[in-house]
Structure 1
Amino acid sequence: MNAPLYARVFDGLRERIERGDLGVGTRLPRQNDLATEFGVSVITVKHALGMLQEAGYIERRPRIGSVVTSATATTGRTRALPTIGCIVTNFDDSFGTRMLHGLLDAAVGRADVVLSRSEGRHDREQQLLDQYRQLGADGLILLPGSSGWIPPALFDLVHRQHPLVVLDRDLVGLPISTVSSDNVEAGGLAAEHLFQLGHRAIGLVTSAGEVTSLDDRHTGFVYAHAAHGHPYDARHEFRDVRSTVPHPEVSVDDDVAALTEYLRANPELTGFVGGEYSVSLLLRRACLRLGRRVPEDVSIVSLDAPDHTYDDAVQSFTHVAQDEHGLGRAALDAVLAQLAAPGSVAKTVLPTTLVVGETTAPVRP
């Protein structure tokens, strides 16, 4: 693999200093001039200069610039790890925490990771992207709050071919590397499990979020109907859970009431796919409100669920699990690959797995 651009700039300047082309006391060219000379961004030059300072070759002095102070390294480190910014909407044990474990484990000895959360707010996402640019982060990993809104700062990063990876989303039309699960497969696995248990009329319940992962899961749900020869009925969907989206305008009780009416209107449904764990919990609450037990009367497959290994009092959901550790590792690999080959774009899709729990059972005769 080719060396990252910042490493090439570092090596080029280090060799000049050690040969004496840039003697002790010499002021290095301005950052803009170095960026033009090496054909890289100013951010890349800043990182290389930071490496030279850390190794003891130069000092960076206010209003003067970078001055050579030694023709040899005076510290043991002549390489600095790249700084990677990571912005997620939020994270919990149902999705996100394990992904961050994978990312941080993969970063040991390879990168310094700076983590922030946007809480799904557009203004905060834009602010954090600007903040990381000012920090001089060498690369960015972003889990956007929406697939329908693209922060202006993102367009600039793409234009400058700044190393960037989008997690769990697809921003259609932009040449951006993405890392996600096979969400079409996930929706299909959930529906197929219910069909295999003998359920014929199944419903899909999701949040009202505008993200491509939900759309892909819906696609898989529809495909599974066709694969099993069962008619698909759009009336069996409820895609308007709102208390689980960022900054909700409705309460949990409002959603449970709406789900209760949905269940009353579709009494023929015996199985359901919940688009995410929190949605599945609300759906179960609505079922119990109507006296419908899970799984005796109704089966629910959740897309994602936390690990309840140490708590046997909690009903474990049958769910489709994502390889969250793999997502985190793949995201770091992808952004580091772009440091070595700027402008490269790759789409990484990881498989999902059905995990049978306590919320599904064969349909009652």
Structure 2
Amino acid sequence: MEQIPLYQHIFNTLKARIESGELQPGDQLPTEAELSREFKVSRITSKRALTELENANLIYRVQGKGSFVNSDLPPLRPQPRIGKEMLFILPFTHNPGLGDYEKGINEYLATTDYTLNIQSNTIIGQRKLLETAFHNNNSGLILYPVSSNEDLGILYQYYQSKYPLVTMDKIIDGIPFPAVISDNFDGGYQACKHLIENHHRKIAFLSSSRVEKSSSIRERYFGYLQALYDNSLIDYSVNDLTERYLTHEDDDGKEYYKRFIQAMMDSGVTGIVAENDLIAIEIMQIAKDMGLSIPDDFSIVGFDNIHLSSFVEPKLTTISQDFAQMGYMAAKNLVEIIEDPQKRPRDNVVVPIQLIERQTVKKL
């Protein structure tokens, strides 16, 4: 197979960024020097790539200022949706307990003539899947986003083109796609309230990522804060601890959680509201490795009610989401939008949660 010239590779990459919306009309492109460093090529090669983009009318160049994306580019248009196949993009291939999303979707689709195609972004990546889906003939898309604020350029193109799309689990920041979500606020509230009812007074919230990235985590966090406020338990030392550990971007998760547990014990914290069950279970295991006992040394409440939560020792107290109902409502809303675009739901669907009491919360 003949290898494409280096300048062509740069041209193709920048063209894809423009067409996906990553580079918007009016945006400035990297300079020749920056492209040389990024692609490890000579200035002559990067200059040739920019010249080809200009010849293709994708950019214009201003002497002394740089290269910019043309403002009169024809908008991307999705292919006509003539099929009866619905696409579901999600950020995991297999996650114990979360397969009920698919069960709920298929339960609703069984009453229609639509079928379901599932793709995971764990290998290809969400942006690439979204770019591909935009140009195929799926009837519509259910998207379980990796975060609330990633790939906004291509997602806004979906919105502009009125592509039938429903999000699940999270809300996309700034783009009003209809969404089906759990009552995450009430979940965070009930988890914290349960600890308070068992006489815990210093309670921390633990997340695996910044709350700004995910509307679902953010709402759980706000629910936790509201429960503390309603019970006059806002403690700035605990709040400072929580804020420190809402920014987990550490590759060594185990060491990170060890530091959190130690800081928690030093601060007199007796209860944790965890973002999800997987984090709660990891904390429990690390605590055991540190010679601590749950719930004797501290209590913990998870979120999701995955299958594993009822098999660990001690069994995890958690907040249960109705994944099947979320899938069912997402499919129902999407079919309604496909068949009547004027019938877009004004409000998001919020599915109730349930506290599942087990063995990881001690009454003080």
Deviates more, 1:338-347 or 1:322-331: 338-347
Q: Deviations over 1:34-76 (max 9, x none)?
A: xxxxxx98513x44xxxxxxxxxxxxxxxxxxxxxxxxxxxxx
CA distance in 2, matches of 1:281, 1:41: 43
TM-score, normalised by the number of residues in structure 1: 0.70
- Pick the aligned partner of 2:101 from 99, 119, 130: 99
SS class of match (1:207):
coil
Superposition map of 1:143-182 within 5 A: 143-182=144-183
Q: Deviations over 1:316-361 (max 9, x none)?
A: 2100011111100011011001012215244111111000011112
- Pick the aligned partner of 1:231 from 234, 241, 253: 234
TM-score, normalised by the number of residues in structure 2: 0.71
SS class of match (2:320):
strand
Give yes or no for the alignment of 1:117 onto 2:120: yes
CA distance in 2, matches of 1:308, 1:286: 16
Change (3 A) 1:200 1:94: farther
Alignment size in residue pairs: 279
CA distance in 2, matches of 1:172, 1:345: 17
Q: Structure 1: give runs of 5+ residues left out of the alignment.
A: 1-39, 48-81, 243-248
CA distance in 1, matches of 2:158, 2:194: 42
Give yes or no for the alignment of 1:240 onto 2:247: yes
CA distance in 2, matches of 1:323, 1:151: 28
Aligned residue number for residue 266 of structure 2: 265
Q: CA RMSD in A?
A: 2.4
**Is residue 98–residue 306 contact of structure 2 (8 Å, CA) maintained in 1?**
no
Deviates more, 1:172-181 or 1:187-196: 172-181
Q: Structure 2: give runs of 5+ residues left out of the alignment.
A: 1-76
Q: 1:103: how far off? A: 1.5
Aligned residue number for residue 214 of structure 2: 211
Q: Deviations over 1:100-159 (max 9, x none)?
A: 22112222242211101113x8x7212112222333001000011111223433222211
Deviates more, 1:138-147 or 1:233-242: 233-242
Name the aligned partner's letter for residue 136 of structure 1: N
CA distance in 1, matches of 2:240, 2:296: 24
Which stretches of structure 1, 4 residues or more, deviate above 3 A after TM superposition?
Answer: 91-95, 311-315
Same amino acid, percent of matched pairs? 19
Name the aligned partner's letter for residue 80 of structure 2: I
Change (3 A) 1:313 1:258: closer
Aligned residue number for residue 69 of structure 1: none
Aligned residue number for residue 126 of structure 1: 127
Change (3 A) 1:136 1:312: closer
SS class of match (2:89):
strand
Give yes or no for the alignment of 1:338 onto 2:337: yes
Q: Deviations over 1:251-293 (max 9, x none)?
A: 3333333323323432x11111111112112222343244331
CA distance in 2, matches of 1:306, 1:336: 28
Structure number with greater Rg is 1
Change (3 A) 1:331 1:303: same
Q: 1:204: how far off? A: 0.9
